[in-house]
Structures are given as structure tokens and as C-alpha cells.
Amino acid sequence: MRSGEINRPGDKVRDDLSVYANHSESFEPTSPWVNLLNEAEPQRGTQYEAGIKYSPVFPKETLFTLAVFDLTLTNVPHEVSLGLYDQLGEVHVRGVELEGKLALADQSNATLSSTYWNPEILEDVINGNAGNKPQHVPNHIGSVWADCTHPGDGLRGELTVGAGVRYAGASCADNANTLKIDAHTVVDDAISYEFFENATLQLNASNLFDEA
């Protein structure tokens, strides 16, 4: 801090660095609308995660997160033919995720993320696909999103406009790994208008140009 400079309340005077770890378990009943070949079992999950969060003094309102995770899911529904599903015994995913959130300017923000997954089917007694990759799960996904908000006043409400790009790496269309899905990039956008508190009109468009 330069001589004669005074800190204002709330000003950061040093970088913030924190380490975290967590463990979670999940339980999700199978939807009654899913047409299964066999008796439905609830999907269960166990996840371990550890990471680092870093918030620098400059630029302000910036947060970087690096996380590693280990996820195990059992009784995972997967489509074996049109409208007909089965359940995998066990799927395991290890991965690492990097995310950055920053304020570009007043009322403008950006979020960037990149995730690497290493997925594997550990148990598939019915179809014998143990050791393969689960369908529709790429090794890499990434996204960039930016939004800008125009504050409201007594006559006009608050307007927020956002747009982003999502990337998904190559994956398999079936658990036997015989059909491939090429890597693809899609564009999303969103617009919302807040008339007054707790009254908002919002429109979202996913895969705006129908690329995949």
C-alpha cells in the first residue's frame, strides 16, 4: 500500500487462497416414465471432491477454482433402443475441473470452465460392456459465458443479456463403444427483464444454431 493511501471498508488488501474437501452421497428414484427392461432400482451416487479456490486482489470480483473429483454411480439408466432403457450396474468417473469467474466491467461478468473426465463402466452384467466408456460422456467439455445487466430505474426495469459457447469432445453413442459422436460446439443465449421485485420475464435459447 502506498504512503498516504487509506483502505476503505471491504477493500481487499491481499489475495485469498482456500482449500476444501467434501464427500456426498445421493439417492434418486427412477422416473416412472422411464420404460425399463427390468425392475427399476434407484440410482445411487458417492462423490469425493477436493479443490483450491483463489481470489486475487486484482482484478476485483475474480474467483478461480481448481477441483479434482471421484464419482461412483450405480443403477444408471441408459437407452438400449428407442424409448427402451436398461440400468448399468456401476459407472465410475474421475476428473478435474477448472473454473474462472470475473467481472469484466460494471454490471458485466464472465465465466469460463474446462472439465476433463475419465469415465468407465465398471459393472454391466446384462450387456457385458464393463471396461467401456458410458454413452454420451465425453472426456472433455468446456464453456465460456458472458452477460451484461442494464440497471433499471423508476420507469424501466432491469435488463440482462447473456451469451455463451459450449464445447463437448468426442464421445460414444452406445455403451458398446461401436458408434462415435464427433466433438461439437454450440451457442447459447439468454435475455431477462425484471419488471419489479419478484417479477421477471426470461427467455433462454440452447444450441441456438442447431449445430448438434
Task: Write the CB contacts of 61 (distance below 8 Å, at least 6 apart in sequence).
Answer: 101, 102, 103, 109
Containing structural domain, residue 138: 16-205
Task: Indicate the number of domains in the chain.
Answer: 1
Asked if residue 31 belongs to a domain, the reply is: yes
Residue appearing with cell numbers 483502505 = 7
**Hey, what's the cell of 77?**
439408466
Residue appearing with cell numbers 475419465 = 118
Whether residue 181 contacts residue 170, with contact meaning beta carbons closer than 8 Å, is answered with yes
Q: How high does pLDDT run on average in the chain?
A: 87
Burial 7-22 (b: 16+ CB within 10 A, else e): eeeeeeeeeeeeeeee
Would you say residue 40 has pLDDT above 80? no
Asked if residue 22 belongs to a domain, the reply is: yes
- 86/112 Cα distance (integer angstroms): 35
Q: Which residues pair with 202 in a beta bridge?
A: 192
Would you say residue 101 has pLDDT above 50? yes
Asked if residue 169 belongs to a domain, the reply is: yes
Q: Give the pLDDT confidence score for residue 196 in this predicted structure.
A: 72
Asked if residue 176 belongs to a domain, the reply is: yes
**What average pLDDT does this structure show over 166-185?**
95
Give CA torsion, residues 182, 187, 188, 189, to 10 deg: 180
Would you say residue 133 has pLDDT above 90? yes
- 123/75 Cα distance (integer angstroms): 10
**What average pLDDT does this structure show over 8-18?**
71
Name the percent of the chain lying above pLDDT 90: 61
**What average pLDDT does this structure show over 180-190?**
95
Asked if residue 9 belongs to a domain, the reply is: no
Q: Give the pLDDT confidence score for residue 41 in this predicted structure.
A: 84
Specify the amino acid at residue 78. H
Whether residue 87 contacts residue 36, with contact meaning beta carbons closer than 8 Å, is answered with yes
**What average pLDDT does this structure show over 170-186?**
94
Q: Give the pLDDT confidence score for residue 198 in this predicted structure.
A: 76
- 168/12 Cα distance (integer angstroms): 37
Asked if residue 34 belongs to a domain, the reply is: yes
* pTM as predicted: 0.81
Burial of 196 (0-12, 13-18, 19+ CB in 10 A): exposed
Least confident of 1-10, 121-130, 136-145: 1-10
Would you say residue 79 has pLDDT above 90? no
DSSP state of 86: E
The two beta strands, 171-172 and 108-123, are: unpaired
CATH code for position 140: 2.40.170.20
Asked if residue 93 belongs to a domain, the reply is: yes
Q: Give the pLDDT confidence score for residue 141 in this predicted structure.
A: 97
Least confident of 10-19, 28-37, 75-84: 28-37
Least confident of 11-20, 29-38, 152-161: 29-38
Asked if residue 46 belongs to a domain, the reply is: yes
- Listed ranges 37-51, 74-88, 135-149; the one with the highest mean pLDDT: 135-149
Residue appearing with cell numbers 443403477 = 75
Would you say residue 155 has pLDDT above 90? no
**Dihedral sign of CA atoms 144, 169, 205, 99 in order:** negative
